[in-house]
Structure 1
């Protein structure tokens, strides 16, 4: 056997591939996937409280930006948002007042924006009522007989 043929045989007998076929899109891709399933239907009011000079407020502000995107806002047009700026070094928090009267508070000092999106989907988006699809009845035009065209 020649040296080239031996070289080809050695490289074709390699270990089979194991692992992910492609890399993940990163944090921004994960956040966009979570935002696709966010719905504000069970929420009446969202209230953000934070000190802008607090060292852990950046992720809360990112979450506020994501949750107030026009695509998310279209899921519930009656939901109101309130931002309370405090200058007393308190930890940031987000309060969700639900339609059924409950109140859910996220203490967001040690959470990332992705974790807040996941928690929102886990605890709040599941409370949204299921959408029912109603089939349209058959109209008169669809039930007419088709007459064949006569050839001359």
Structure 2
């Protein structure tokens, strides 16, 4: 008599792999400005600072080069906060001016998951028009070249 195996067939890749997976799907096209405010002396500011580093990476900035990321270092006891100001078409569509995350008790992974859940779906859809694939033979048949010989 055998006991059925229960559980995962393989181990998880860990938090770093989960963060990398979340970073691949971040899209900031719906965002005009990101303001990250934190108190550096607070114990819970580490995840907010890590999010700031991830949001300023070149891959994430390529999703919206016009997005301004502004860090605010606080010296008071306000909780850490990430503010996403939306672009005008998204403001009209959702009736929201900005989206705020109070990030005091959240991990970096949870902040990225919230960003993918609330910010990424607001990105405007791109019109992708399919252009027909042209092969070398179709290019040659479609365009007749005139060879001009010079004397």
Q: TM-score, normalised by structure 2?
A: 0.80
In structure 2, stretches of 5+ residues that fail to align are: 92-96, 143-151
Q: Which residue is equivalent to 1:106?
A: 101
Aligned pairs (5 A) from 1:1-152: 14-100=2-88, 101=91, 102-137=97-132, 141-142=137-138, 144=141
Contact 1:96/1:104 (8 A) holds in 2: yes
Highest Rg: 1 or 2? Answer: 1
Deviations 1:59-94 (A, max 9, x none): 101111111111111000000011111111221111
Q: CA deviation at 1:138?
A: 6.0
Q: State the distance in 2 between where 1:138 and 1:20 align.
A: 43
The match for 2:147 is none
Number of residues of Structure 1 aligned to a counterpart in Structure 2: 133
What is the RMSD of the two structures over their aligned residues, measured on CA atoms? 2.0
Residue 82 of structure 1 aligns to a residue whose secondary structure is strand
5+ unaligned residues in a row in structure 1: which ranges?
A: 1-12, 146-152
Query: Going by fraction, where is helix more abundant, 1 or 2?
Result: 2
* Matches of 1:41 and 1:131, distance apart in 2: 10
The aligned residue for residue 4 of structure 1 is none
